[in-house]
Every structure is written in structure tokens, then in C-alpha cells.
Amino acid sequence: MTETAIVILAAGKGTRMKSRRAKVLHALAGQPMLHHVLATARTLAPERLVLVLGPDMEAVGRTLPEGAPPAEIAIQQERLGSGHALLMARHALAGFAGDVLVLYGDVPLITAETLNALLAARRSGAAVAVLGFEPDDGAAYGRLVIGPEGGLERIVERLDADQAAAEITLCNSGIMAVDGGHLFALLDGLGNDNAKGEYYLTDIVAGARARGLECVHAMAAAEEVMGINDRAQLAEAEAVLQNRLRRAAMKNGATLIDPATTWFSLDTVLGEDVTVGPNTQFGPGVRVADGVEIRAFCHLEGADVGAGAIIGPYARLRPGAEIGAGAHIGNFVEIKKARVEKGAKINHLSYIGDARIGAGANIGAGTITCNYDGFTKSLSDIGAGAFIGSNSALVAPVVIGDGAVVAAGSVITRDVSADAIAVARGEQDERPGAAARRRDKKKSGQAKG
């Protein structure tokens, strides 16, 4: 089995993004587009993984996700073209003679299946295998020129294409696999006599043919090799990726009532028999167990939801929310960094933050945990089977014992014992006839005026 090294070229400035952020750090499905490429690369289990960055891209290196093997970073001090960028990996690939797969940090939708097909084409005996595609509009792409016997003869860049080359429909994605034994000799032979004065990686095809080496191509779907250069293309790629994630969720046993309005993060995990209502968004870090119902207009991020729970409608689960099996989180309820245990119910208009809600507890409408005093955040601990009346405020740190009852409208500032009833509100004062007297007085004053 031939070993594989992967080089990801990500040194481009991305000026058309109109952003202070590096282009490859702009997000798709909640993750930087570069992370999508890295995740796909790592599924191929490469022996070496190299990331080529520009000299002003330290932020990119700091955001790399954990994984094995780690990526070695090479810096392209001068941006002199894609061929020059790949030369920056020479040190990292010293002595490597296997396949070198070249990917791009701004082409995040490529799949492992397509890359494996490209590697298979290279291993058929070719020195270079290039990934081609046929877009609806090829005006922006270089062309793959195929010889009479089906081999790849050369790649013509868009700016250098004559009329005959421009009429070719087979376009260059930029992604290629190269025999590592020939790679750097081919790169060293590149020139920059072209419209942009750059060292084109694509010229290694002509260089390989001049040396009597075979070159071939493999095919990809146009959406897989979509490059992202501006915000509009970022949105187009997001739409493609969301459709992939929706199909995968449904294939794996989830029901999406309105797939087009359900938005996933790359790492969203849904169990079997999960039902997701319309206009639901999953931010990063959400895991949902089997049999959960998520009703319409919910937003979940950094949350774990246990089997059989019911969420929403209009619920928000923020990072650190742990929802137990069979729990109910109802409309306009916000949960942050709180554990809601098995069977507990928070059905209406509540904020629960930095808290534990014990199994079977019931939290009445309008209840809030007052977890922040302007300096520190403290815990509210509500015991199993406790009942918190509507419109109550629990001022943390505070413990409500198992089975305790807090009367509606209470402001609880001290611990409540198990099975006790706590009432913490002003005493009701009734003045018979006072309302009628007030009305009469007001009417009399208006008449005089």
C-alpha cells in the first residue's frame, strides 16, 4: 500500500472576503472551512500532513483542531503562486516517496471518496493525477487538455487560454496527486512566463509529459470542488453543506419536519427517532439521544439532550446544558450551564443558569435563577421532586431540598429544607372599598378641571 502525504495550501490573503479574518477561518456549519479540509484529510490517515500558510497568518495556526497526525506548518514568505507554495513543503516532505495529495484550504466540500478515487488514478502508473470537473459555467477555470489516447497532456490557465482551450468543458479543480519521487524535480522546473508572472502548480503536468511521464485525471462533482473567494460563495457552500448534513441526519433515523429550515453544525449528533421541528438551529457541540422531540424555533449549542426529552417550541439550550432523559424544556425557556435531571419539567418562560434541577422537579412559569452578582456566578441546587412556584427568583448560591415547595412569587435568598414550604414575599394588604373611593376621587377631580 502506497503511503500518502497531504499538503493543504492555505496561504491566500482572501482579499475579496473584505475581512480582517483569514479567509480559511470563515465558518461553514459552525467550523472554519480549513477545519473541514483537515477533517477530510485525516480520514485518509496520511503519514504526513503539511499546512502551508502566509507570513501574516499566525491566527490560523493557533486555531488548528486536535487530531492525529498533527499538521506541520510551512510558511510561504512571498506569495508567488501555487507551485511556489507547494515548494514550501520540501523540508516537511524530505525523503518521502509516496503519494503527495495537494488540497486547498478554501475548497472545503471535497469528500474522502473522491480523493481516494484520485489516488487510485495516480496509482495506476501515472506520475500526476489531476481532479477535473465540468461546471455549468467554466469561465473562471483552467482547462484540462486531454490527448488522443485519453492521457492528460497539459493544463491551460484561464488567463492564458486561447479560443480552442476556452471551448474545452473539462476544467481544473487544482486538486492533484503526485508521485513524491518526482514532485520536487517537477516543481524545480517551473517557470513564471505567464499572464500573472507566477509559478503555476498546473505546469507540472506539461513538465511531467516532457520527461516522458504519464499524467491522468479523475472526475469530481462540481459542488465538491467549489472554491470560496467571497461572501456569496461562502453562502453557496453553506447551502450545499447543509443539504448534505440534512440528508445524513434523515438517513440515520431522524425526522426533519421542514429540512430546509433546519440548520446543523458539522459536529451535530442526532440519535434514532429524533424529531426536529421547523426553524431549528444546532450550534457546535450538540448531542441528542434517541427519541427526543425538538419542537419548532429552538436553538441548541453545546448541549446534551437525553433520551425521550421534549424541547421547545422556542427553547434555547446554551453551552453546558445537560438535559436528562424524559425531561421537558418548554416554550421560551433558556438553559445555560445547568443539569436538568430525569423527568424534570421547566415548561414556560424561565431562565435556568448555573444550576442543578433534580429528577422530577417542576419549575413554574417565570422562574429565574439569579446566578450572577456582577462579580461571580454561583450555583442554585434544586432537589429531586421539588416544586418551584411561578414567578419565583432563586438567588444563588442557594439549595432547595428534595420535595420542597417554593410559593409563587417568592424571592428565595436562603436554603430551603427538604419537604418544607418556603414563602418569601410581601404580606398581602387588602383595604375594602379603596378602589371605588379612588375612582370617585379621580372622576371628581376631572369634573372640576
Q: Which are the catalytic amino acids? A: 348
- Distance, in Å, from the CA atom of 217 to the CA atom of 99, rounded to the nearest integer, reads 15
Using alpha carbons, select from 193, 202, 118, 121 the residue that is nearest to residue 158. 202
For residues 148, 149, 153 and 155, what is the CA-based torsion angle, rounded to 10 degrees? 80
SS (H, E, C) 225-238: HCCCCCHHHHHHHH
Whether 335 and 318 have beta carbons less than 8 Å apart is answered as yes
Bridge-based pairing state of the strands 171-179 and 128-133 = antiparallel
E strand intervals along 152-265: 152-156, 171-179, 215-219, 255-256, 262-263
- Distance, in Å, from the CA atom of 403 to the CA atom of 422, rounded to the nearest integer, reads 12
CA-only gyration radius of the chain, Å: 31
Angle of helix 33-43 relative to helix 231-251, nearest 10 degrees?
A: 50
Neighbours of 127 (CB within 10 A): 23
Neighbours of 392 (CB within 10 A): 25
